[in-house]
């Protein structure tokens, strides 16, 4: 009986491991294709060993028109919108976290509803509005919309992280004459560094890979970000430059990877409260 039970457990464990390996392969194989195809002079859709290692694909894409200008545009759009999102989310989450009101719950539910709105459903009225207020085909107008589209979920995340900072620390600062804004800047935000890092990374990544918004709101080719210019590698009649597409994908992914590496320590750290509220 004991042997049968052990056999069943082993079988279930092996089945679970096999399932996890299948899921891992589904994520790893596209990455392997990108790396191999970027170095393959005859890249195709199949994952295969390169016919020969070459850097010609990178030489073809590392030009101002194809890569550098779109990447700079992406950095301006996503960096500016991320900064605006984090600042506005912190200012909006603070009163929701620290002050009790009968409007808090309806407001949070409204925010939660706003996160579920598909971006395609609101682009037509947004486009019409941008035309009326002369924000169409402008970098700052696209930044505003990027920030507005990410703000609901950013507020929700920021508020939950902010709830983890004890209010007693702020009350001590208020006793010393600090204002609510000063306590937010000097106490709450430094202590919830991991939360700010999570909101920053999430907002930046969601904007960095967004194709539809800049494609609709920007008209001038020189202002297009990399998420839109990558479409240029898909030619007419099904012709695709797979090697150049893979090389561009690697370069395009680099800023996001660097951002994660730079703030990985903040993501891994806990709230630095220690024994501040004890004793």
The answer to whether the beta carbons of residues 186 and 173 sit under 8 Å apart is yes
The span from the first CA to the last CA of the chain, in angstroms, equals 56
- How distant is the alpha carbon of residue 207 from its chain centre? 6
For the whole model, what pTM was predicted?
0.82
Q: What is the pLDDT of residue 238?
A: 57
- Please state whether 238 falls in left (phi above 0), alpha (psi between -120 and 50) or beta: left
**Domain coordinates in residue numbering, the chain:** 1-53, 65-269
Confidence of residue 272 (pLDDT cuts 50, 70, 90): very low
% of the chain beyond a pLDDT of 90? 26
Mean pLDDT, residues 157-180: 84
CA distance 255 to 190: 25
CA distance 164 to 209: 30
* Four-CA torsion 217, 219, 222, 226, nearest 10 degrees: 50
Higher pLDDT, 131 or 45: 131
The domain 65-269 is placed in CATH, from the list 3.40.50.10800, 1.25.40.10, 2.40.100.10, 1.10.3720.10, at: 1.10.3720.10
Which tokens go with 51?
Answer: 């016919």
The answer to whether the beta carbons of residues 66 and 232 sit under 8 Å apart is yes
Q: What is the pLDDT of residue 267?
A: 62
Helix or strand (DSSP H, E) at 111 = helix 104-115
Over the stretch 223-258, which tens digit does the pLDDT of each residue have?
999 999 888 887 655 577 888 889 999 999 999 888
Mean pLDDT, residues 80-105: 88
Higher pLDDT, 276 or 263: 263
CA distance 184 to 86: 13
């Amino acid at each position: 009986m004991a042997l049968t039970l052990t056999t069943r457990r082993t079988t279930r464990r092996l089945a679970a491991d096999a399932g996890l390996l299948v899921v891992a392969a589904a994520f790893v194989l596209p990455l392997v294709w990108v790396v191999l195809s970027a170095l393959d002079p005859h890249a195709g859709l199949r994952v295969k060993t390169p016919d020969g290692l070459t850097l010609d694909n990178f030489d073809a894409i590392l030009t101002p028109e194809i890569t550098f200008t779109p990447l700079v545009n992406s950095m301006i759009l996503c960096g500016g919108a991320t900064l605006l999102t984090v600042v506005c989310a912190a200012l909006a989450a603070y009163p929701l976290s620290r002050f009790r009101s009968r409007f808090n719950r309806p407001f949070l539910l409204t925010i939660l509803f706003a996160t579920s709105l598909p971006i395609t459903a609101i682009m037509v009225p947004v486009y019409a509005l941008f035309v009326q207020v002369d924000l169409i085909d402008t970098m700052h107008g696209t930044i505003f919309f990027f920030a507005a589209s990410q703000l609901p979920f950013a507020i929700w995340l920021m508020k939950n992280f902010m709830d983890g900072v004890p209010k007693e620390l702020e009350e001590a600062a208020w006793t010393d004459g600090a204002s609510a804004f000063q306590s937010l800047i000097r106490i709450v935000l430094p202590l919830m560094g991991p939360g700010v890092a999570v909101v920053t990374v999430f907002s930046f990544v969601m904007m960095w890979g967004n194709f539809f918004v800049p494609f609709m709101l920007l008209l001038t080719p020189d202002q297009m970000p990399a998420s839109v210019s990558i479409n240029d590698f898909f030619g007419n009649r099904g012709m695709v430059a797979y090697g150049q597409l893979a090389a561009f994908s690697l370069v395009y992914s680099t800023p996001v990877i660097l951002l994660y590496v730079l703030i990985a320590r903040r993501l891994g750290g806990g709230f630095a409260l220690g024994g501040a509220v004890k004793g």
